[in-house]
Amino acid sequence: MNCPNCGTPVADHPENGCVLAALIQVIRDRGNMSEQILLALHAGTDVDLLWESVGAIVDNLEMGTYSNE
């Protein structure tokens, strides 16, 4: 299975700056899901929908919404 975001293999995804892989790693670090479920979640992600959600976060970041100043 390949990552729907960057096209590299989901199993042993390289650290290449892929946002989806980084988000899956955060979920992995929580320790609540088996590796098999994580791989399926990763491979089955609708990246267009993901980027719509992430885009709003990036917009807020750009506007300083998360600034502590």
Domain ranges of the chain: 1-69
Question: What is the pTM (predicted TM-score) of this model?
Answer: 0.85
Position of tokens 């098999």?
36
Using the predicted structure, report yes or no on whether residue 19 has a pLDDT greater than 90.
Answer: yes
Encode pLDDT of 48-67 as tens digits. Answer: 999 999 999 999 999 999 99
| Phi, psi torsion values for 29, nearest 5 degrees | -65, -25
| Lowest-confidence region among 9-18, 34-43, 55-64 | 9-18
Encode pLDDT of 22-32 as tens digits. Answer: 999 999 999 99
Contact 8, 14 (CB under 8 A): yes
How much of the chain exceeds pLDDT 70, in percent? 100
